[in-house]
Structure 1
Amino acid sequence: MGFADAVKTCLRKYAVFSGRARRSEYWYFRLFLGLLGLVLGIVFAVVAGAIAGAAGASGSDSVSAGGGIAIIFLYLLVFAVSLAVLLPSLAAEARRLHDTGKSAWWILLELVPFGGIVLIVFCAMDSTPGPNEHGPNPKGVGGGYGQPPQFGGPNQYGQPGQYGQQPGQF
């Protein structure tokens, strides 16, 4: 799954907390959120710096009314974007935890000091192979690597124990 597909999937599943999410889907969406935050931070810093520079150039120690309104608008914009991506972020994390066989209630670890480190480890873990209580594996059957080998069943030489051999005999 590519970057754009992961972002589209997470935004399409805006508040879907059920099901499973692959590592690529989750981490690409987290990358998108980080880049979005970086862009908003740069825009905020540039605009606030320009307003402060204009106020300093005019010899005033205070920010003009128009500059103050622009900074308040930027604060509200950052707050609105943060609020808008909160639900899809939590939903993607819940689906990722489901993929590792964990409950979404583990998200509450973010409220505990250093609990986020545990969640990073959980979200970096591989999927549980095959289906689990949260749905089928998004990678496909058996963790995406094909069917696991079956031991003890029939093979190209017949059933185990045929031709006079018992288990343990050579």
Structure 2
Amino acid sequence: MTAYINAMGRYLDFSGRSTRSQFWYYHLVLLGFAAIGIIIDAVVSGGQPLVSALIIIAHYIPSLAITVRRLHDADMSGWLVLLCLVPAIGVIAFTVYGCLASTGPNRFGQSAHGVSRSTGATPAADSQPQAASNIERIEKLASLHASGAISDDEFQRMKSEILTVGTR
């Protein structure tokens, strides 16, 4: 339910990233709401899709937004969400997007994996010491910077975030 609340709180946010679990848990809750809406429609309005239609309409933009953020998490353009609107291909595209692996830091920001929501620090249960982890993260940033995936400003900002988190 947390993923659903988070997605609804970011109703019009098409920037940033969303993990696979956020994506799938949001859509699982939405599926539950739609099923309840269909049941209510069958009982109250004789099968006319009134409640279920309102549920789907209210969730259309957040669904697009979380799909765009999911694409960003896989370091892909959010415009690929338009493939979900194509009949037949849309279901396949939606499923593939939900299954794509997350990348490390990319042009859309820091990965949501391995970062605590409350403090922004990596968990203490890392398999490597914090300093070694930060060095690896900076090396990955440097390779993204060298390939042109992130700008000089983005590289400096992300590097300072890594170094700031490491000193807490």
What is the TM-score of this pair, normalised by structure 1? 0.62
Aligned to 2:78: 104
Letter in 2 for 1:108: L
Matches for 1:57-72 after TM superposition, within 5 Å: none
Aligned to 1:34: 31
- Are residue 13 (structure 1) and residue 10 (structure 2) matched? yes
Q: What is the DSSP-based 3-state SS (H/G/I as helix, E as strand, rest coil) of the residue aligned with 1:102?
A: coil
Structure 2 unaligned regions, length at least 5 = 116-121, 137-168
Aligned to 1:92: 66
Aligned to 2:99: 124
CA contact (8 A) 1:101 1:132 kept: yes
**1:69-99 deviation line (CA, Å, top 9, x unaligned):** xx7xx64433332221111111111101110
Aligned to 2:19: 22
Structure 1 unaligned regions, length at least 5 = 50-70, 151-170
Shift of 1:149: 9.5
Aligned to 1:114: 89
With a CA cutoff of 8 Å and minimum separation of 6, indicate the structure with the bigger relative contact order.
1
> Do the aligned partners of residues 145 and 88 (structure 1) sit closer, same or farther apart at CA in structure 2, a change above 3 Å counting?
farther
- Are residue 46 (structure 1) and residue 43 (structure 2) matched? yes
RMSD: 2.6
CA contact (8 A) 1:100 1:123 kept: no
Shift of 1:115: 3.6
Work out which of the two has the higher radius of gyration on C-alpha atoms and give 1 or 2: 1
CA contact (8 A) 2:41 2:50 kept: no
Shift of 1:27: 0.3
Aligned to 1:136: 110
Identity fraction in percent: 37
**1:56-79 deviation line (CA, Å, top 9, x unaligned):** xxxxxxxxxxxxxxx7xx644333
**1:130-165 deviation line (CA, Å, top 9, x unaligned):** 2101110000379x9864996xxxxxxxxxxxxxxx
Matched residue pairs, number? 122
